Structure 1
Amino acid sequence: MRILLVILLWVSQSLWAGSQVNVAVVGPRSGPVTEYGDMQFTGARYSADDINQSSAYSVHLNLISFDDACDPQQAIDVAKKIVQQKIQYVIGHLCSSATQVAAPIYEKNNILMITPASTSPTITQQGYRFVFRTIGLDSKQGPLAAEYIMHHKPKNLAIIHDRQQYGKGVAEAVKATLMQNKFPIKLMLEIEVGRMSFDQEVEILKKQGIDFIYYGGYYPELAHILRQSKRQGLSIQAMGPEAIASQDIMPLSSQAADGLLVTLPPAFSTWPAAKKIVERLHKERLDEGSPFIYTSYAAVQVLAKAISESKSLVPADIANTLRQKSFDTLIGSLSFNDEGDLNQFKFEVFRMDADGKMSKVFSL
C-alpha cells in the first residue's frame, strides 16, 4: 500500500501532455483601484487562452480569480483560501502591501507566486524561494523620476506620499537619489489614503511656493489634490509612479492632471509581439495602453513555459527552472536572479494629456 501511495503521489506531480493546472489570479476586483485589477485579470486571461490553444505547451491552465481589494487583511484571507484549495500557483497580488503579507504564506506552503505589478523591493529581499515578479523595482523607478526632476530643475519641489508600502517606498527612492545629488527638496508631506479634502495641504503648498510635486501612491488622492490646487489658483506640475496613470484621473481631477508625468514600463502595446493582443483589446473596447495587461500576460507565460521546461508540477522544480533559464515572452526575453527579480527591466517617463494620451518624454 505504501509503495502504491508513493507511485500515486509521483504521478500527481509529474507532467504529461494536457496536464490540468489550477492557477489563482489575485488582485482588486473591488475597492478604489479596481481598474488596475481589471488590467491584471485581462492580461492573465488572454495569456491562458493563448497557451491553452497552443501545442507548444504541456499544460492546460484553469484560472481561478480572487479579489483582495488591494487590502492587506483581505490578501491574507485570500492566501489562506488558496492554501486550503491546494492551488500551487499564483499570479498576483497586484498592490505591494497585499503581496508583502501574502508572500510568506505562499512560501510556507510551497506555493509559487509571480506578481506582475508589485514594485516594492522589500518583497523579494526576504530570501524566498517561491516569489517572483515580471515588473521592475521602485529602486529603479524612483531614481529615474529623480533624474528627470534634476534635469528639469523645478524651483520648489515637494515630495508627497500616502504612507503605504508602495507609495512611501517609491517616494523614498526618489528622495534618496535627489539627496545624494544635493538637489533641494522644499517640502515633504504625508497624507492619508481615502481622504477627499486636502485644502490644508494645498494651503501649505501655496505658502511654500511649490511648483512641482512628486507623489507616491495611487491616483484618487492625487486627483483630489490637483483639483483643489487648481480651484485655489495654484498651478503645479505633478509626477508619480505607474499607479497614478489611470484614465480616471483626468475627470476626477477636473482635468487638473493635464500634463501629468508618470514613470511606466515601455509602451508594450506598440511592440510587434503585442499586435494580436492589441487587436483583441480593441474588439473588447479595452485600453491598449494599460501596462499591467502585458506584465500579467508575461507572468502567465513564464509560468507555463517553466512548467513545460521542468517537466514537473512541483513548485520547487519550477522555481529552479525560472532561476536557471530565460524565457521569450510578450514583453521580451525575461530571466530572474536569485531573489526572483528580473535581471533587466526598464522604466520610462511619459506625459499624460487631458484626453489620456501618453507620450514618452524621457528615458535613460
Structure 2
Amino acid sequence: MNSGTTKFYSVSFLFLAMLASRSATAEVVKIGSAAPTTGSIAHIGKDIENGALLAVEEINAKGLTIDGKKIELQLDRQDDAADPKTATQVAQRLVDDKVVAVVGHGNSGASIPASRIYYDAGIVQISPGTTNPVYTQQGFRTAYRVVGTDAQLGPALAQYAHETQKLKNVAIVDDATAYGQGLADVFRQRAKSLGMEVLSTDETNDKAIDFRAILTKIKSERPESIFYGGMDSTAGPFVKQAKQLGIDVPVFTGDGACTDKLSELAGSAVDQVVCAEAGRDIKAMPGGKDFGIRYEKRFHQPAEVYAPFAYDAVYIIVDAMRRANSVDASKILSAMPTTDYNGVTGKINFDNHGDLQHGVVSLYDYKAEKKTLLDVVKM
C-alpha cells in the first residue's frame, strides 16, 4: 500500500468517524413543509418553504437541546401543487415520514382536506397562509394558523370600499376554490350589510386565463367596483382584461393576489387594485426589517407575502418542544394551546380554535405599479 492510498483511507475513516460522532450526538427531528412549489403560484409556495427553511437553518446553527439531547432539525419539503387531492397525499407522506409537526399548507383548498389527516395522526399543523374560517372550525385540535382569516379580510375590504371610497355597488367574481369563494362570500355579506348593492356574482376557476365573457357581462352592469376572489395568477389577467375592455373601476382582492407579481401579470392596470393581507406589512412587523435582510441574503430575492409567517411557525413549534421538554408529536401538540410567543410577525397567542387572538389586516394599493401600504386595521 503506497502513501497516497494510506492517506485516502485515513481521510475516509476520519470522515466516517465524523458522521458517526454526529449521529451519536444529535437526534434528527423532522418538521414538514407543505406548499405549492410548482404550478401557477409556485412563487408563493417557494416563499413559504424558504421562510421555514431559514428558521430551521438558524436554529441548527445556534444549536438546539431538548431533554438533554442535541437536536438537529430537518425540513421535510413537499409540493402540494395547491391541489386538494395532492395535498392529502402529501399530508399522508409527511405522517409516514414521522414528522413531529407541519408548516403548511399554503392555501385553503389544500389545508382543509389535509387537516383531517394531521388530526387523525395527532400532528400539529400550522398554516402560514390559510385564511378560510372553515380550516379551524372543524374541531381539529391540531389545526393552527399564524395569519388572520377571510372573516377579517373580507369585511375590511368592504368597509374600505363603502366608507372610504364611497362606492355604492359591486360586481363579485371568484375562482371557485375554498379560498376565493370563501373570501368572496364574506366580502359580499359585509358589503350588503353596509348598504352596497351586489350587482352580480360569477364564478371562474383557478386555471382560467380568459375572462372576457364574464367581464363583458359585468361591463353592461356599469359597476362602481369589482371584487375578485382568487390568487395573483388569475387576478393579474382578470384586472388587465378589465382595463382593456374599458372597465375603469377599483378592483378589490385578498392576500392571495396581493403580491409584487400581480404587477407583472396585470401591468399598468394593477393601479386599479386595492388588496388586503391578513397580517402586518413586513416593514411594520416588529422583526420585519432584520428578517427581510436575512431572507434576501440567504435566497437572493425579497420575501413575498408568507415567508415571515412560515418562519414564525417553525419557531413556535420549537418553542412548544422546549416547553414540553420533548420532541414527541403528542407532547408538542399538548403544549400548543399555551403558546405565548413574540415573533417576527408580532405577538402570537392562539384562541381555543387555533386562530390568532390579535389579528390585523393590512390594506394596499398600487402606485405606478408598486405595491404601497394604505392602512392597518386591527380586528
What TM-score does the superposition give when structure 1 sets the normalisation length? 0.90
Cα distance, 1:303 vs structure 2: 0.4
Q: Which of residues 73, 81, 96 in structure 2 aligns to 1:69?
A: 81
Residue 9 of structure 1 corresponds to none
1:109 and 1:347 mapped to 2: Cα distance? 33
Residue 301 of structure 2 corresponds to 286
Is the 8 Å Cα contact of residues 269 and 275 (structure 1) preserved in structure 2? yes
1:141 and 1:357 mapped to 2: Cα distance? 17
Q: Secondary structure at the match of 2:30?
A: strand
Moved more, 196-205 or 50-59: 50-59
2:100 and 2:239 mapped to 1: Cα distance? 43
**Structure 2 stretches of 5 or more lacking a match?**
1-24
Is the 8 Å Cα contact of residues 223 and 250 (structure 1) preserved in structure 2? yes
Q: Are 1:308 and 2:322 counterparts?
A: yes
Cα distance, 1:143 vs structure 2: 1.1
Q: Deviations over 1:281-333 (max 9, x none)?
A: 33343124x23011111101100011111112222322221102311211122
Q: Are 1:269 and 2:277 counterparts?
A: no
Question: In structure 1, what residue type is equivalent to 2:356?
Answer: L
Q: Are 1:30 and 2:52 counterparts?
A: no
Q: Are 1:97 and 2:109 counterparts?
A: yes
Q: Secondary structure at the match of 2:373?
A: strand
Q: 1:291 and 1:57, CA in 2 relative to 1: closer, same or farther beyond 3 A?
A: farther
Q: Which of residues 329, 339, 348 in structure 1 aligns to 2:343?
A: 329
Is the 8 Å Cα contact of residues 280 and 345 (structure 2) preserved in structure 1? no
Is the 8 Å Cα contact of residues 51 and 57 (structure 1) preserved in structure 2? no
Is the 8 Å Cα contact of residues 199 and 228 (structure 1) preserved in structure 2? yes
Question: In structure 2, what residue type is equivalent to 1:131?
Answer: A
Residue 8 of structure 1 corresponds to none
Tell which structure's C-alpha radius of gyration is larger: 2
Q: Which of residues 181, 186, 192 in structure 2 aligns to 1:173?
A: 186
1:247 and 1:177 mapped to 2: Cα distance? 27
1:340 and 1:357 mapped to 2: Cα distance? 30
Residue 309 of structure 2 corresponds to 295
Moved more, 208-217 or 315-324: 315-324
Alignment of 1:1-364 (within 5 A): 19-55=27-63, 58=66, 59-151=71-163, 152-264=165-277, 265-283=279-297, 284-288=299-303, 290-361=304-375, 363-364=377-378
Q: 1:336 and 1:271, CA in 2 relative to 1: closer, same or farther beyond 3 A?
A: closer
**Structure 1 stretches of 5 or more lacking a match?**
1-16
Q: Secondary structure at the match of 2:267?
A: coil
Cα distance, 1:153 vs structure 2: 2.1
Cα distance, 1:256 vs structure 2: 1.0
Is the 8 Å Cα contact of residues 308 and 344 (structure 2) preserved in structure 1? yes
Question: In structure 1, what residue type is equivalent to 2:360?
Answer: K
Is the 8 Å Cα contact of residues 120 and 165 (structure 1) preserved in structure 2? yes
2:200 and 2:222 mapped to 1: Cα distance? 10
Cα distance, 1:272 vs structure 2: 4.7
Cα distance, 1:269 vs structure 2: 3.3
Moved more, 154-163 or 51-60: 51-60
Q: 1:352 and 1:60, CA in 2 relative to 1: closer, same or farther beyond 3 A?
A: farther
Cα distance, 1:193 vs structure 2: 2.3
2:366 and 2:316 mapped to 1: Cα distance? 31
Is the 8 Å Cα contact of residues 351 and 361 (structure 1) preserved in structure 2? no
Q: Secondary structure at the match of 1:244?
A: coil
Is the 8 Å Cα contact of residues 117 and 133 (structure 1) preserved in structure 2? yes
1:73 and 1:280 mapped to 2: Cα distance? 35
What TM-score does the superposition give when structure 2 sets the normalisation length? 0.86
Kindly, what percent of the aligned residue pairs are identical?
24
Cα distance, 1:155 vs structure 2: 4.1
Residue 16 of structure 2 corresponds to none
1:145 and 1:358 mapped to 2: Cα distance? 15
1:82 and 1:272 mapped to 2: Cα distance? 32
Q: Secondary structure at the match of 1:186?
A: strand
Residue 3 of structure 1 corresponds to none
Cα distance, 1:149 vs structure 2: 1.4
Question: In structure 2, what residue type is equivalent to 1:249?
Answer: L
Cα distance, 1:342 vs structure 2: 1.4
Question: In structure 2, what residue type is equivalent to 1:321?
Answer: A
Residue 14 of structure 1 corresponds to none
Moved more, 62-71 or 84-93: 84-93
Cα distance, 1:57 vs structure 2: 5.8
Cα distance, 1:55 vs structure 2: 4.8
Q: Secondary structure at the match of 1:30?
A: coil
